[in-house]
A and B are shown apart, each in its own frame.
Chain A
Amino acid sequence: MPKLIKNGEIIENQYHWLQEAEQEVTATSIVAAQKWLTEKDTMTGIAGIWLEAGDGVEFLEGVDLTQFDVIGVHFPAFTDGRGFSYARLLRERLNYQGEIRALGNFIPDQLGYLLRVGFNSFQFNESVDLEKALLLHKSFSIAYQGDVSEPRPLFLRR
């Protein structure tokens, strides 16, 4: 199984990201949110769901998110920044405490921003050298704005 970066460490990936609708759903599956939405009454015991760019997070309002160990956010291209808002809304609006995993075509140089908006795990494309990616974890030691880990902007701490 490919490795991933989670909470600042390279670890074995214990979940399966189901990209195709017909793949078999198991207890370790991360299922497309739209699929889960239509089949949720019969689908139990999955690891979590993943959001496609364009899904938004509004449909998760009122859903008990504690049933998911992980919520994935897919980046169709690393320049598609919708996922940055999704992660932040999952944390700040929907108060989701579990793992938020970046999936797809994001790149190591985005790690700093991804961490700040609430992602804590990163399933990189296979071509990425995770040891090198880890070095980019923290390019900046301080930030002007508030974010998920420190909601107070710098002007409240200056």
Chain B
Amino acid sequence: MYQYDAIDQQLVEERVAQFRDQTRRYLNKELSDQEFLPLRLQNGLYVQRYAPMLRIAIPYGMLSSAQLRKLADISCRYDRSYGHFSTRQNLQLNWPKIEDVPDILAELAQVQMHAVQTSGNCIRNTTTDQYAGVISDEIVDPRPYCELIRQWSTFHPEFAFLPRKFKIAVNATESADRAATQVHDIGLHIKKNDAGEIGFKVIVGGGLGRTPMVGVTISEFIPRMDLLTYLDAIIRVYNQQGRRDNKYKARIKILVKALGIEEFRNRVEAEWQHLRGKESTVPMSEFERLQSFFSEPNYNALENNPASLTSKLADSAGFARWFERNTFEHKKAGYRIVTLTLKKAGQAPGDATAEQMHKAADLADRFSFGELRVSHEQNLVLADVRQDQLVELWDAAKEAGFATPTLGLLTDMICCPGGDFCALANAKSIPIAAQIQETFNDLDYLYDLGNIDLNISGCMNACGHHHVGNIGILGVDKKGEEFYQISIGGASGHDASIGKILGPSFAQEEISSVIQKLMNVYVENRYEDERFIDTYRRVGITPFKEAAYAKAN
């Protein structure tokens, strides 16, 4: 993974010093709440319902075991010994003290980490596929490009006070989009053109929140050397022309929609003509430098399906289940990608205790070259596990609560912290996740239902991505009481779509039974191997709606 040189290190240390001074002036009342607000947000610090929340960047999801141990250690010494992995590959601490945050940032800097621009109206952490670099059908490894974007966006002098937050995600494979790129402000799809040159299809104006939209293509192919000038052009147009009078209409999607993609594209092209070919054009030497950090680890020459694996698959249904659901094909023979799920019943989705973080770090050292990734679905990934060590890893993962074999299934939910923590939330989301986990605890049934994305957000801000869940649950406030609106038909992959609202919202205790009714409709209507989303797309919303609102007789 990327290693800081003296310059990268100096920058994060100067940032810590800057924020330490800002915090000191705030606590001395030299900076007002209003002035401190964007400064702290650009260092990941929110003030939440009960306590501040600190969002730590995990750039494009890459973590070393040493970094994860540091996070565990920080969570013990400055928080309540756990953290929450978010959909954008960050880690959130829910109970730090404001006055401790400069020290936390200083500790992060010791392991080449930071909380830079994890919030605020600026360019946020760039995200990508958690399987980057280890899958066979990838066009190229997206991580060097993510690092390029990270450096370009970090302390970008022109774009620190945009109309609204700005999120970029990168995909590098035709077969899947695991980073939900089409619901980002900019989605980048790595492509190779007919001449074999690497570039990007650029999608703009996607986003969730109050006005969910799937992005539209602004360019089919931008050569990689021109990436940064093209991004500068898009964001310069947005910075000047995006709405600033209403925060709910300030995302780039609203500008793109208002102008139409043709006109928006014309404006970006006009701007780009001034920038293209100038100093920010990326030279080959920089691509080579960045790629050098993501060279392959020292893989052994191994065969696929070693005897120790095949015999265990035959002997143990539990292991076979875990293998089928929670591991993924690796580009190297004899290796497998393993997801350590953070979706154990009784634990909030995406939460990990400090002890679990230490255990995951240990597993990374033992089984996966000391590296991990954080996924959009709020799980951890060991990318390079020998197939002949899978049984050993499974045993250890079970013990640590990482082996719930439900990856991609109904109970592998995406869930925001909700009203238990978040000041913005209208309703709690964690108890909904818990209720669903308790109700749908029969693995055979879950397997029979197959791949279903269920996403839960506690409010319209949609941190739990409810719009793009096959089933989306949104917490709403109805005269001071917490209710839940259910939508179906959303998707976040290459077939991205926004879900449709089923109808009037439901009380908290009704949710599981409504989900059950939706599942019954699916099971009755599906063709043999048809996924929930495909059945929905074929039969439409009506049968689901009728079942959900049918009077009990």
Residues of B contacting A38 in the complex (Cβ-Cβ under 8 angstroms): none
- The answer to whether B152 touches A117, judged by C-beta atoms less than 8 angstroms apart, is no
Contact partner of B244 (CB less than 8 A), chosen from A80, A85, A113, is: A80
Residues of A contacting B283 in the complex (Cβ-Cβ under 8 angstroms): 155-156
Of B9-17, B47-55, B182-190, B380-388, which binds chain A?
B9-17
Check if B485 is an interface residue, CB within 8 A of chain A.
Answer: no
Which residues of A pack against B, CB within 8 Å? 53, 56, 78-82, 84-86, 88, 93, 107, 109-110, 112-113, 116-117, 132, 139-147, 151-156, 158
Contact with A along B35-67 (1 / 0, CB 8 A): 100110000000000000000000000000000
Residues of B contacting A146 in the complex (Cβ-Cβ under 8 angstroms): 279-280
Residues of B contacting A139 in the complex (Cβ-Cβ under 8 angstroms): 14, 17-18
Of B154-162, B330-338, B363-371, B507-515, which binds chain A?
B154-162
Which residues of B pack against A, CB within 8 Å? 5, 7, 10-11, 14-15, 17-18, 22, 30-31, 35, 38-39, 121, 151-152, 154-162, 228, 236, 239-240, 244, 274, 278-280, 282-283, 285-286, 289
Residue of B at shortest CB range from A114?
Answer: B157
How far apart are the CA atoms of A91 and B239 in the complex, in Å?
Answer: 17
- The answer to whether A78 touches B35, judged by C-beta atoms less than 8 angstroms apart, is yes
The 4 A-B residue pairs whose C-beta atoms are closest, nearest first, are A81-B161, A116-B157, A155-B286, A113-B157
In addition to A81-B121, A144-B152, 13 A-B residue pairs with Cβ atoms within 8 Å of each other are A53-B244, A81-B239, A84-B158, A84-B159, A85-B240, A86-B240, A107-B35, A109-B31, A117-B158, A140-B18, A142-B11, A146-B280, A156-B279
- The answer to whether B159 touches A81, judged by C-beta atoms less than 8 angstroms apart, is yes
The main secondary structure of chain A at its interface with chain B is loop
- The answer to whether A142 touches B38, judged by C-beta atoms less than 8 angstroms apart, is no
- The answer to whether A79 touches B151, judged by C-beta atoms less than 8 angstroms apart, is no
A-B contact pairs, 23 of them (CB 8 A): A56-B240, A79-B161, A81-B121, A81-B159, A81-B239, A84-B157, A84-B239, A86-B240, A93-B274, A109-B31, A113-B155, A116-B157, A140-B155, A143-B155, A144-B152, A147-B157, A151-B278, A155-B283, A155-B285, A155-B286, A155-B289, A156-B283, A158-B289
With both chains docked as a complex, state the minimum distance between the C-beta of A148 and any C-beta of chain B, in angstroms: 9
Contact partner of A144 (CB less than 8 A), chosen from B151, B161, B278, B282, is: B151
Residue of B at shortest CB range from A107?
Answer: B35
Task: Say yes or no: A81-B162 contact (C-beta < 8 A), given A116-B157, A142-B10, A146-B279.
Answer: yes
- The answer to whether A85 touches B278, judged by C-beta atoms less than 8 angstroms apart, is no
Task: Say yes or no: A109-B151 contact (C-beta < 8 A), given A139-B17, A142-B10, A155-B283.
Answer: no
- The answer to whether A109 touches B22, judged by C-beta atoms less than 8 angstroms apart, is yes
Residues of A contacting B157 in the complex (Cβ-Cβ under 8 angstroms): 84, 112-113, 116-117, 143, 145, 147
- The answer to whether B158 touches A141, judged by C-beta atoms less than 8 angstroms apart, is no
How far apart are the CA atoms of A81 and B5 in the complex, in Å?
Answer: 31
How far apart are the CA atoms of A38 and B58 in the complex, in Å?
Answer: 52
Task: Say yes or no: A140-B11 contact (C-beta < 8 A), given A80-B244, A151-B278, A155-B282.
Answer: yes
Task: Say yes or no: A153-B280 contact (C-beta < 8 A), given A82-B239, A113-B160.
Answer: yes
Residue of A at shortest CB range from B36?
Answer: A109
- The answer to whether B152 touches A85, judged by C-beta atoms less than 8 angstroms apart, is no
Residues of A contacting B158 in the complex (Cβ-Cβ under 8 angstroms): 81, 84-85, 88, 113, 117
Task: Say yes or no: A79-B10 contact (C-beta < 8 A), given A56-B240, A84-B160, A85-B158.
Answer: no
How far apart are the CA atoms of A151 and B236 in the complex, in Å?
Answer: 16
Residue of B at shortest CB range from A109?
Answer: B39
How far apart are the CA atoms of A146 and B17 in the complex, in Å?
Answer: 23
- The answer to whether B14 touches A140, judged by C-beta atoms less than 8 angstroms apart, is yes
Residues of B contacting A113 in the complex (Cβ-Cβ under 8 angstroms): 155, 157-158, 160
